[in-house]
């Protein structure tokens, strides 16, 4: 199984990437940075507009927002009452941003990629030859407006209180009313959103949090940590976990959960399943990661397990619950599976030069392509890439009719020859 013509590098930025989210059906936001050290590597967000030119996906830079000395390790985006909010983990705090939509002249966008620094827009300088080429394009361009964005910082709250406090994960409920955070201190904190007022704390893990996710109906929240446990909580109350799960490896080796995601079940509204990836605790010997499917409506039974021949780093489930994407540690490869069976349908070896740090599915309402689905991926190699699921080819109805008629004719001739 190899990549299709739609697959490959979409964009490269000048800082390591740690998180990505779909901002709209056609816009993707990536974030990361080099940290507070004086290395000259920027910290912040970059937004790209996705399109498909008939042969492959294309990403065009829309704007950039720099966050000064604060690297962005985690982020979440939600549209609440037609307002787009962005939350970002910056050290021990969660910073809330409001994202305003702007319609701008496409010629102005081409004259310099919009970059925002502390709320101010600046443009990257271009060479004389680049400006000449852009002027020629402007003469032929249409006057239609293009969508751009303005990122404005709002409130900030401290979400982790460990000895070396660090927010490791943030997620927002689908209805936009709740936010959950986790960090080094191992406590899951549930907040109102977008006011970011603390509602209650969930204490059940003994080590730092690795991942959080709300169920599609927002009644459950799953958390995993370095203590090897996955806890599923009710979101309407501070209580003990509804379910406690531990990784169930096929060979008895000790494994730790790495990522967790809920997924909807097609044609069964209100029902959902859960997916996890896990890596062996021991670093000796050959590392084999696990992709696992869990039923969480009853006692949390393990339904399927797939073994991958290296450690895993990233996980994403498409909104409709049809596909699951997985990224790897060693080779930067991408695996895509059918959700209900965990049958692999797409694979790209070495999609990145280093380990995959984030995955996000392109919305089905996004750019039209010849593929059945598209998965975006990022890495600390500074690259944004896409992996697609090839569309299943079907035989046209008229060909099927001709084949059936031909087979019936051959059958009739054979029967006549045998005098049957």
* DSSP string covering 329-390: SSS--EEEEETTT--EEEEETTSSSS-EEEEEEPPTTSS--SEEEEEEEEETTSEEEEEEEE
Nearest to 364, CA basis, from 321, 328, 404: 321
pLDDT of 124 reads 41
Q: Could you tell me the CATH number of the domain that includes residue 261?
A: 2.130.10.10
How many residues would you count in the chain? Answer: 420
Left (φ > 0), alpha (ψ -120 to 50) or beta: where does 381 sit?
alpha
- The answer to whether residue 194 is domain-embedded is yes
10-residue mean pLDDT profile of the chain (420 residues): values are 69 95 95 81 94 90 92 94 93 95 73 44 38 45 74 96 93 97 96 96 95 96 96 92 86 88 85 94 78 87 93 96 96 96 95 96 82 94 94 59 77 74
* Residue 282 token pair: 């021991």
- The answer to whether residue 118 is domain-embedded is yes
CB neighbours of 280 closer than 8 A, spacing ≥ 6? 249, 253, 254, 255, 256, 287, 288, 311
The predicted model scores a pTM of 0.84
* Cα angle: 45, vertex 70, 189; to 5 degrees: 90
Please tell me whether the peptide bond between 194 and the residue prior to it is cis, using omega within 30 degrees of 0. yes
Structural domain count, the chain = 1
Strand 289-295 to 301-308 pairing: antiparallel
Nearest to 268, CA basis, from 322, 221, 316, 318: 322
Is residue 30 within 8 Å of residue 17, measured between CB atoms? Answer: yes
Is residue 2 within 8 Å of residue 372, measured between CB atoms? Answer: no
- The answer to whether residue 180 is domain-embedded is yes
- The answer to whether residue 151 is domain-embedded is yes
| Residue 235 DSSP code | T
Query: What is the spatial distance between Cα 303 and Cα 291, in angstroms, rounded to a whole number?
Result: 11
- The answer to whether residue 322 is domain-embedded is no
Burial, 384: exposed, middle or buried (Cβ in 10 Å; 0-12, 13-18, 19+)?
buried
Query: What is the spatial distance between Cα 379 and Cα 225, in angstroms, rounded to a whole number?
Result: 22
Nearest to 199, CA basis, from 171, 180, 212: 180
- The answer to whether residue 293 is domain-embedded is no
Query: What is the spatial distance between Cα 199 and Cα 143, in angstroms, rounded to a whole number?
Result: 49
Is residue 29 within 8 Å of residue 86, measured between CB atoms? Answer: yes
- The answer to whether residue 150 is domain-embedded is yes
Query: What is the spatial distance between Cα 290 and Cα 394, in angstroms, rounded to a whole number?
Result: 33
Left (φ > 0), alpha (ψ -120 to 50) or beta: where does 404 sit?
alpha
pLDDT of 203 reads 94
- The answer to whether residue 299 is domain-embedded is no
Nearest to 87, CA basis, from 199, 27, 162, 167: 167
Is residue 4 within 8 Å of residue 371, measured between CB atoms? Answer: yes
Is residue 284 within 8 Å of residue 319, measured between CB atoms? Answer: no
Strand 243-246 to 255-264 pairing: unpaired
Domain that holds residue 250: 8-270+347-417
Provide the CB-side half-sphere exposure for 100 (13 A, CA): 10
Is residue 326 within 8 Å of residue 339, measured between CB atoms? Answer: no
Is residue 168 within 8 Å of residue 74, measured between CB atoms? Answer: yes
What are the C-alpha distances in Å from 397 to residues 186, 390, 393, 401, 408?
58, 21, 12, 6, 17
Is residue 155 within 8 Å of residue 196, measured between CB atoms? Answer: yes
Strand 187-192 to 198-203 pairing: antiparallel
pLDDT of 121 reads 35
pLDDT of 114 reads 46
Residue with tokens 């309407």: 236
* Residue 356 token pair: 């995959």
What is the number of other CB atoms lying within 10 angstroms of the CB of residue 386?
A: 28
Backbone angles phi, psi at 164, to 5 degrees: -115, 75
Provide the CB-side half-sphere exposure for 420 (13 A, CA): 7
């Amino acid at each position: 199984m190899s990549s299709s013509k739609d697959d490959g590098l979409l964009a490269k930025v000048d800082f390591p990437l740690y998180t990505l989210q779909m901002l709209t059906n056609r816009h993707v936001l990536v974030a990361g940075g080099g940290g507070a050290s004086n290395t000259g590597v920027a910290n912040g967000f970059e937004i790209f507009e996705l399109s498909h030119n008939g042969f492959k996906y294309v990403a065009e830079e829309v704007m950039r927002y720099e966050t000064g000395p604060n690297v962005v390790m985690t982020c979440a985006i939600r549209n609440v009452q037609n307002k787009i909010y962005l939350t970002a983990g910056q050290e021990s705090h969660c910073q809330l941003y409001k994202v305003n939509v702007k319609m701008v002249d496409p010629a102005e966008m081409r004259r310099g990629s919009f970059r925002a620094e502390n709320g101010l827009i600046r443009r990257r300088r271009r060479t004389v030859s680049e400006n000449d080429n852009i002027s020629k394009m402007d003469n032929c361009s249409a006057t239609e407006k293009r969508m751009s964005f303005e990122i404005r910082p709002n409130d900030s709250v401290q979400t982790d209180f460990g000895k070396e406090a660090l927010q490791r994960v943030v997620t927002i409920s689908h209805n936009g009313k709740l936010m959950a955070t986790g960090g080094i201190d191992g406590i899951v904190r549930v907040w109102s959103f977008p006011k970011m007022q603390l509602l209650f704390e969930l204490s059940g893990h003994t080590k730092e949090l690795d991942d959080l996710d709300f169920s599609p109906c927002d009644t459950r929240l799953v958390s995993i940590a370095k203590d090897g446990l996955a806890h599923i909580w009710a979101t309407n109350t501070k209580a003990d976990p509804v379910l406690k799960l531990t990784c169930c490896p096929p060979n008895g080796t000790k494994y730790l959960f790495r990522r967790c995601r809920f997924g909807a079940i097609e044609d069964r509204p209100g029902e959902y399943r859960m997916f996890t990836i896990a890596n062996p605790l021991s670093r000796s010997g050959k590392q084999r990661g696990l992709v696992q499917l869990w039923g969480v409506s009853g006692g949390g039974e393990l339904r399927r397990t797939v073994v991958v021949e290296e450690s895993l780093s990233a996980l994403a489930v498409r909104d409709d619950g049809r596909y699951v994407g997985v990224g790897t540690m060693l080779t930067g490869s991408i695996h895509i599976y059918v959700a209900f069976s965990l049958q692999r349908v797409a694979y790209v070896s070495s999609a990145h030069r280093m380990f995959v740090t984030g995955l996000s599915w392109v919305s089905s309402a996004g750019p039209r392509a010849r593929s059945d689905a598209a998965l975006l991926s990022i890495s600390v190699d500074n690259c944004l890439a896409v992996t697609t699921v090839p569309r299943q080819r079907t035989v046209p109805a008229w060909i099927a009719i001709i084949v059936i008629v031909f087979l019936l004719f051959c059958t009739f001739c054979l029967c006549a020859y045998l005098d049957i």
